[in-house]
Amino acid sequence: MAKKNAISSLLGIELPLIQAGMLWLANAELAAAVSNAGALGTVSPYAGMAKDGDPVANLEHQIKRVRQLTGKPFAVNIPLDLSLSGILLDRAACLGARIVITAAGNPMTYTALLKGQGAIVLHVIASVDQARKAQSAGVDAIIAQGIEAGGLHGRKALPLFSLLPQVADAVTLPIVAAGGIADARGMVAAIALGADAVQLGTRFIAVSECVAHPSYKRAILDAGDQGTVLMGADSRRTRILKTAFAEHFLALENSGATPEQLQAFRGFRSAWNAQLDGHLESGEAHCGASAGLIQDIVPAGELVMRLFKDSFGTIDLLCSKTITPRRT
């Protein structure tokens, strides 16, 4: 997995691993730690920003800061459903962002513009149809995200290991697998199913460089296999930690609350309350279903090295297994 492949060659990285661009958490310090370890770190325009801050100015700061901390490649993540997405993408391009990850929107809208500025574009998809559309739009690679991932999902999202091989059969682009991967076993399995690389989000919350509140990190470590829930069946479907906030939202949803009422309850910055201020009972604590696999908080670079060291051990174990016929 550490040999050059389609993704590592495209992005100029040593290891085919991407740190997800978590909206409030993916700041320059985290991205640089991941990139310096040989993988691809990612920055978000909202990470490290004050509650009343300007995301455009913050994006400029994050890009300049990450360049101070690493000379290796990094990505900028900008969801297309953000109200300022066009302005943010234009600013990223003007600042010479070499790798841009887009999601939650039509890749036809900005891909040609970004590539015209010399950027490499990756787009997040959740279905075979979306993968084909992204390929038609001219993106350089796709990130196939399963419903196991923390954060937002479309209504038609599939489990990663059902989605991934179907996408691999449908497109010729390099593929990054995302959702529910937190250790070497998941990485190796994703590669076996057609991925060229993997993207991890929740696992990179539980690292020392991440600005997430200690209570949020501890809650991920304590979550176990039943510790997350999907909320928002009709709109803004999201996987978060199973907290009083999630239970209240689901109760509102089941009682027939309107989308406007549900959105009013959620608010735009409820994720900030949980993830940065540690108020888990009054905000969205995004968390993937892989939480039960996360047992410790370590430096990001150490995590990257561990994942790839363990991946070789996992491959060796698979190769050494023998198949014993069952007695009939």
What CA–CA distances, in Å, run from 59 to 43, 82, 96, 122? 8, 14, 12, 18
Residue 241 has a pLDDT of: 92
- pLDDT for position 1: 46
Task: Tell me the C-alpha distance between 121 and 169, whole Å.
Answer: 21
- Confidence (pLDDT) at 313: 63
pLDDT at residue 317, as a whole number: 52
Please give the pLDDT value at position 222.
Answer: 94
User: What pLDDT, on the 0 to 100 scale, is given for residue 309?
Assistant: 85
Indicate the pTM of the whole model.
0.90
pLDDT at residue 235, rounded to an integer: 61
Distance of alpha carbon 317 from alpha carbon 262, whole angstroms: 48
Give the list of residues 6+ apart from residue 252 with CB closer than 8 angstroms, or none. Answer: 261, 262, 265
pLDDT tens, position by position, for the chain (328 residues)? 444 588 888 999 988 999 999 989 999 999 999 999 999 999 999 998 887 889 999 999 999 999 999 999 999 999 998 888 889 998 888 888 899 999 988 999 989 989 988 999 999 999 999 999 999 999 999 999 999 998 888 777 899 999 999 999 999 999 999 999 999 889 999 998 999 999 999 999 999 999 999 999 999 999 988 999 888 876 678 898 999 988 988 888 888 888 778 877 777 667 888 888 888 888 889 999 999 999 999 999 999 999 988 877 666 555 555 545 455 4
Residue 328 has a pLDDT of 44
Question: Structural domains in the chain?
Answer: 6-212 (3.20.20.70), 214-282 (no CATH)
* pLDDT for res 320: 57
